[in-house]
Protein backbone atom coordinates (compact mmCIF):
# COMPACT_ATOMS: atom_id res chain seq x y z
CA UNK A 1 0.00 0.00 0.00
CA UNK A 2 1.29 3.48 -0.93
CA UNK A 3 1.67 6.15 1.72
CA UNK A 4 0.34 9.39 0.27
CA UNK A 5 1.21 12.60 2.07
CA UNK A 6 -0.82 15.70 1.26
CA UNK A 7 1.29 18.56 2.49
CA UNK A 8 -0.24 22.02 2.92
CA UNK A 9 2.26 24.65 1.77
CA UNK A 10 0.31 27.87 2.41
CA UNK A 11 -0.56 30.43 -0.22
CA UNK A 12 2.78 31.23 -1.79
CA UNK A 13 4.99 32.65 0.94
CA UNK A 14 7.75 30.07 1.58
CA UNK A 15 7.60 31.13 5.25
CA UNK A 16 4.08 29.60 5.40
CA UNK A 17 5.60 26.11 5.14
CA UNK A 18 5.49 24.67 8.67
CA UNK A 19 8.31 22.71 10.30
CA UNK A 20 6.12 19.58 10.02
CA UNK A 21 5.67 20.18 6.27
CA UNK A 22 9.41 20.77 5.77
CA UNK A 23 10.28 17.51 7.51
CA UNK A 24 7.65 15.62 5.48
CA UNK A 25 9.06 17.02 2.22
CA UNK A 26 12.53 15.85 3.26
CA UNK A 27 11.24 12.38 4.18
CA UNK A 28 9.20 11.79 0.99
CA UNK A 29 10.49 9.28 -1.56
CA UNK A 30 8.68 10.88 -4.51
CA UNK A 31 7.00 14.25 -5.05
CA UNK A 32 4.23 14.70 -7.63
CA UNK A 33 4.10 18.22 -9.10
CA UNK A 34 1.21 19.32 -11.34
CA UNK A 35 1.87 21.53 -14.35
CA UNK A 36 -1.13 23.76 -15.02
CA UNK A 37 -0.11 25.28 -18.35
CA UNK A 38 1.88 28.37 -19.19
CA UNK A 39 -0.39 30.84 -17.36
CA UNK A 40 0.19 29.24 -13.99
CA UNK A 41 3.69 27.91 -14.60
CA UNK A 42 5.01 29.95 -11.70
CA UNK A 43 2.98 27.88 -9.22
CA UNK A 44 4.89 24.77 -10.34
CA UNK A 45 8.09 26.80 -10.12
CA UNK A 46 7.14 27.91 -6.62
CA UNK A 47 6.67 24.26 -5.63
CA UNK A 48 10.19 23.52 -6.88
CA UNK A 49 11.53 26.52 -4.95
CA UNK A 50 9.86 25.25 -1.76
CA UNK A 51 11.31 21.77 -2.29
CA UNK A 52 14.79 23.26 -2.69
CA UNK A 53 14.37 25.56 0.32
CA UNK A 54 13.31 22.56 2.45
CA UNK A 55 16.31 20.50 1.40
CA UNK A 56 14.14 17.82 -0.24
CA UNK A 57 16.19 15.42 -2.35
CA UNK A 58 13.22 13.31 -3.45
CA UNK A 59 12.78 12.69 -7.16
CA UNK A 60 10.02 14.83 -8.68
CA UNK A 61 7.47 13.49 -11.16
CA UNK A 62 5.66 16.25 -13.05
CA UNK A 63 2.32 15.65 -14.69
CA UNK A 64 0.18 17.91 -16.89
CA UNK A 65 -3.15 18.74 -15.31
CA UNK A 66 -6.00 17.66 -17.61
CA UNK A 67 -8.36 20.33 -18.89
CA UNK A 68 -11.94 20.20 -17.62
CA UNK A 69 -14.49 19.25 -20.24
CA UNK A 70 -16.74 22.34 -20.27
CA UNK A 71 -19.34 20.46 -22.33
CA UNK A 72 -20.42 18.34 -19.32
CA UNK A 73 -22.74 19.45 -16.48
CA UNK A 74 -20.73 20.96 -13.57
CA UNK A 75 -20.67 18.06 -11.08
CA UNK A 76 -20.14 15.43 -13.76
CA UNK A 77 -17.33 17.57 -15.22
CA UNK A 78 -15.59 17.76 -11.82
CA UNK A 79 -16.00 14.01 -11.15
CA UNK A 80 -14.58 13.15 -14.57
CA UNK A 81 -11.66 15.55 -14.02
CA UNK A 82 -10.87 13.92 -10.65
CA UNK A 83 -10.89 10.46 -12.29
CA UNK A 84 -8.43 11.70 -14.91
CA UNK A 85 -6.08 13.17 -12.31
CA UNK A 86 -6.21 9.96 -10.24
CA UNK A 87 -5.20 8.03 -13.37
CA UNK A 88 -2.26 10.40 -13.93
CA UNK A 89 -1.06 9.97 -10.33
CA UNK A 90 -1.35 6.19 -10.66
CA UNK A 91 0.74 6.26 -13.83
CA UNK A 92 3.38 8.58 -12.33
CA UNK A 93 3.72 6.43 -9.19
CA UNK A 94 3.89 3.18 -11.19
CA UNK A 95 6.63 4.67 -13.39
CA UNK A 96 8.73 6.04 -10.52
CA UNK A 97 8.31 2.97 -8.21
CA UNK A 98 9.11 4.93 -5.03
CA UNK A 99 10.42 3.04 -2.02
CA UNK A 100 8.58 5.23 0.48
CA UNK A 101 5.93 7.93 0.85
CA UNK A 102 4.63 9.89 -2.13
CA UNK A 103 4.06 13.60 -1.42
CA UNK A 104 1.93 16.30 -3.02
CA UNK A 105 2.40 19.96 -2.18
CA UNK A 106 -1.12 21.24 -1.69
CA UNK A 107 -1.84 24.94 -2.01
CA UNK A 108 -3.10 26.43 1.27
CA UNK A 109 -4.64 23.73 3.46
CA UNK A 110 -5.58 20.35 1.95
CA UNK A 111 -9.00 20.40 3.67
CA UNK A 112 -10.30 23.68 2.25
CA UNK A 113 -11.77 23.85 -1.26
CA UNK A 114 -9.23 21.40 -2.52
CA UNK A 115 -9.87 18.15 -4.35
CA UNK A 116 -6.68 16.33 -3.47
CA UNK A 117 -8.30 14.23 -0.71
CA UNK A 118 -11.19 13.28 -3.02
CA UNK A 119 -8.74 12.31 -5.77
CA UNK A 120 -6.69 10.26 -3.29
CA UNK A 121 -9.86 8.33 -2.41
CA UNK A 122 -10.12 7.24 -6.05
CA UNK A 123 -6.78 5.46 -6.11
CA UNK A 124 -6.91 1.69 -6.31
CA UNK A 125 -5.54 0.26 -4.07
CA UNK A 126 -6.48 3.00 -1.58
CA UNK A 127 -3.32 4.68 -0.21
CA UNK A 128 -2.70 5.41 3.47
CA UNK A 129 -3.27 9.17 3.55
CA UNK A 130 -1.55 11.65 5.85
CA UNK A 131 -2.52 15.33 5.83
CA UNK A 132 -0.12 18.06 6.94
CA UNK A 133 -2.12 21.26 7.58
CA UNK A 134 -1.21 24.50 5.86
CA UNK A 135 -2.03 28.19 6.12
CA UNK A 136 -5.15 28.73 4.04
CA UNK A 137 -6.18 31.74 1.94
CA UNK A 138 -8.68 32.54 4.73
CA UNK A 139 -5.94 32.93 7.31
CA UNK A 140 -3.68 34.78 4.87
CA UNK A 141 -6.56 37.20 4.12
CA UNK A 142 -7.58 37.99 7.70
CA UNK A 143 -3.92 38.28 8.78
CA UNK A 144 -3.03 40.60 5.88
CA UNK A 145 -5.89 42.93 6.84
CA UNK A 146 -5.34 42.39 10.58
CA UNK A 147 -9.03 41.61 11.11
CA UNK A 148 -10.79 38.84 13.04
CA UNK A 149 -12.35 36.03 11.02
CA UNK A 150 -15.65 36.23 12.95
CA UNK A 151 -17.69 38.94 14.67
CA UNK A 152 -18.28 38.48 18.42
CA UNK A 153 -20.44 35.38 18.82
CA UNK A 154 -20.99 35.53 15.04
CA UNK A 155 -21.26 32.81 12.44
CA UNK A 156 -19.10 32.69 9.29
CA UNK A 157 -20.07 31.08 6.01
CA UNK A 158 -17.28 30.13 3.64
CA UNK A 159 -18.64 29.78 0.14
CA UNK A 160 -17.91 30.09 -3.56
CA UNK A 161 -18.60 32.84 -6.07
CA UNK A 162 -20.96 30.48 -7.88
CA UNK A 163 -23.10 29.98 -4.74
CA UNK A 164 -23.13 33.69 -3.91
CA UNK A 165 -24.39 34.36 -7.45
CA UNK A 166 -26.99 31.59 -7.36
CA UNK A 167 -28.33 31.98 -3.80
CA UNK A 168 -27.35 35.49 -2.60
CA UNK A 169 -26.30 36.27 0.98
CA UNK A 170 -26.38 33.02 3.03
CA UNK A 171 -29.02 32.83 5.79
CA UNK A 172 -28.09 33.21 9.45
CA UNK A 173 -24.60 34.62 9.05
CA UNK A 174 -23.06 38.08 9.40
CA UNK A 175 -19.73 37.20 7.76
CA UNK A 176 -19.22 35.53 4.38
CA UNK A 177 -15.86 34.51 2.94
CA UNK A 178 -15.90 33.95 -0.81
CA UNK A 179 -13.38 31.82 -2.68
CA UNK A 180 -13.19 30.52 -6.24
CA UNK A 181 -14.88 33.59 -7.64
CA UNK A 182 -13.72 34.56 -11.12
CA UNK A 183 -16.56 37.06 -11.48
CA UNK A 184 -16.41 39.12 -8.27
CA UNK A 185 -19.95 38.02 -7.50
CA UNK A 186 -20.39 40.59 -4.69
CA UNK A 187 -21.49 42.85 -7.55
CA UNK A 188 -24.86 41.03 -7.43
CA UNK A 189 -25.49 42.11 -3.81
CA UNK A 190 -27.11 45.30 -2.54
CA UNK A 191 -23.98 46.92 -1.02
CA UNK A 192 -25.84 48.84 1.71
CA UNK A 193 -24.42 48.01 5.14
CA UNK A 194 -21.75 45.60 3.84
CA UNK A 195 -17.98 45.99 4.29
CA UNK A 196 -15.44 44.08 2.21
CA UNK A 197 -11.84 43.01 2.75
CA UNK A 198 -10.27 41.68 -0.49
CA UNK A 199 -6.88 40.13 -1.15
CA UNK A 200 -5.22 38.83 -4.30
CA UNK A 201 -1.93 36.88 -4.55
CA UNK A 202 -1.98 36.66 -0.74
CA UNK A 203 1.42 35.68 0.58
CA UNK A 204 3.13 36.30 -2.76
CA UNK A 205 5.39 39.31 -3.44
CA UNK A 206 2.69 40.90 -5.64
CA UNK A 207 -0.02 40.71 -2.94
CA UNK A 208 -2.85 43.23 -3.41
CA UNK A 209 -5.27 44.41 -0.72
CA UNK A 210 -8.38 46.59 -0.77
CA UNK A 211 -11.00 47.20 1.91
CA UNK A 212 -13.88 49.47 2.83
CA UNK A 213 -17.64 49.85 2.49
CA UNK A 214 -18.73 47.69 -0.44
CA UNK A 215 -20.35 50.58 -2.31
CA UNK A 216 -17.02 52.44 -2.52
CA UNK A 217 -14.45 49.60 -2.37
CA UNK A 218 -16.32 47.34 -4.83
CA UNK A 219 -15.54 49.37 -7.98
CA UNK A 220 -11.90 49.82 -6.86
CA UNK A 221 -11.59 46.03 -6.49
CA UNK A 222 -13.16 45.39 -9.91
CA UNK A 223 -10.59 47.74 -11.51
CA UNK A 224 -7.61 46.43 -9.49
CA UNK A 225 -8.50 42.81 -10.26
CA UNK A 226 -8.85 43.42 -13.99
CA UNK A 227 -5.52 45.28 -14.14
CA UNK A 228 -3.67 42.62 -12.13
CA UNK A 229 -5.16 39.80 -14.18
CA UNK A 230 -4.10 41.52 -17.40
CA UNK A 231 -0.60 42.08 -16.01
CA UNK A 232 0.01 38.52 -14.73
CA UNK A 233 -2.24 36.47 -17.02
CA UNK A 234 -3.92 34.83 -13.98
CA UNK A 235 -5.13 35.79 -10.51
CA UNK A 236 -6.20 34.18 -7.25
CA UNK A 237 -8.26 36.25 -4.87
CA UNK A 238 -10.44 35.85 -1.80
CA UNK A 239 -12.65 38.26 0.07
CA UNK A 240 -14.54 38.60 3.32
CA UNK A 241 -17.88 40.42 3.51
CA UNK A 242 -19.38 41.54 6.82
CA UNK A 243 -22.80 43.04 7.45
CA UNK A 244 -22.85 45.86 9.94
C1 LIG B 1 -8.86 25.55 -5.17
S2 LIG B 1 -9.03 26.76 -3.92
C3 LIG B 1 -7.68 26.32 -2.89
C4 LIG B 1 -7.80 26.82 -1.47
C5 LIG B 1 -6.64 26.40 -0.59
N6 LIG B 1 -6.67 24.97 -0.34
C7 LIG B 1 -6.58 27.15 0.72
O8 LIG B 1 -6.51 26.52 1.77
O9 LIG B 1 -6.55 28.38 0.68
C10 LIG B 1 -8.45 28.17 -4.78
C11 LIG B 1 -9.02 29.44 -4.19
O12 LIG B 1 -8.33 29.76 -3.01
C13 LIG B 1 -8.15 31.15 -2.89
N14 LIG B 1 -6.70 31.42 -2.88
C15 LIG B 1 -5.73 30.51 -2.91
N16 LIG B 1 -4.53 31.09 -2.85
C17 LIG B 1 -4.75 32.41 -2.78
C18 LIG B 1 -3.91 33.55 -2.71
N19 LIG B 1 -2.58 33.43 -2.70
N20 LIG B 1 -4.48 34.77 -2.64
C21 LIG B 1 -5.82 34.90 -2.64
N22 LIG B 1 -6.66 33.87 -2.72
C23 LIG B 1 -6.13 32.63 -2.78
C24 LIG B 1 -8.86 31.77 -4.09
O25 LIG B 1 -10.18 32.09 -3.70
C26 LIG B 1 -8.84 30.65 -5.09
O27 LIG B 1 -9.90 30.77 -6.02
The DSSP H or E segment spanning 46 is: helix 41-54
Please tell me the distance between residue 1's alpha carbon and the centre of ligand 1 in angstroms. Answer: 31
What is the structure's pLDDT at 12? Answer: 83
Residue 137 beta carbon below 6 angstroms from any ligand 1 atom:
yes
- Do 21 and 107 touch, CB atoms closer than 8 A? no
| Residue 39 in this model has a pLDDT that exceeds 80 | no
What is the structure's pLDDT at 36? Answer: 77
Q: What is the pLDDT of residues 66-76, one digit of tens each?
A: 988 888 888 89
Residue 202 beta carbon below 6 angstroms from any ligand 1 atom:
yes
Domain ranges of the chain: 3-135, 138-243
Q: The pTM is what? A: 0.93
Choice from 17, 136, 179 to test ligand 1 binding pocket (greatest atom count within 8 A of CB):
179
Closest ligand 1 atom to 134 CA: 8
Q: What is the pLDDT of residues 152-196, one digit of tens each?
A: 999 999 999 999 999 999 999 999 999 999 999 999 999 999 999
Residue 113 beta carbon below 6 angstroms from any ligand 1 atom:
yes
Which one has a higher pLDDT value, 84 or 69?
84
Closest residue by CA, ligand 1 atom 15: 137
Distance CA 50, CA 102 (A): 16
Percentage of residues in the chain having pLDDT higher than 70? 98
What is the structure's pLDDT at 16? Answer: 92
Distance CA 209, CA 12 (A): 15
CATH superfamily of 138-243: Tetrapyrrole methylase, C-terminal domain (3.30.950.10)
Torsion of CA 211, 162, 120, 136, to 10 degrees: 10
Domain 3-135 maps to which CATH number in 3.60.20.10, 3.40.640.10, 3.40.1010.10, 3.40.50.300? Answer: 3.40.1010.10
Choice from 65, 137, 201 to test ligand 1 binding pocket (greatest atom count within 8 A of CB):
137
In Å, what is the CA distance from 230 to each residue of 180, 208, 233, 235?
18, 14, 5, 9
End-to-end CA separation in angstroms for the chain: 52
In Å, what is the CA distance from 241 to each residue of 23, 43, 156?
37, 27, 10
Amino acid sequence: MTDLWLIGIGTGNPAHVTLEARQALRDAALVLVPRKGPDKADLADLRHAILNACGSRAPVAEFDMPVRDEGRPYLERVRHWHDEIAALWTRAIATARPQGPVALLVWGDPGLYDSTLRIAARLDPRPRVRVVPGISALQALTAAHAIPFNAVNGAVTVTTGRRLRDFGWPEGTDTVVVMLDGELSFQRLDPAGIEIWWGAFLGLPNQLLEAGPLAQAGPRIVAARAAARARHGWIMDTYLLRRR
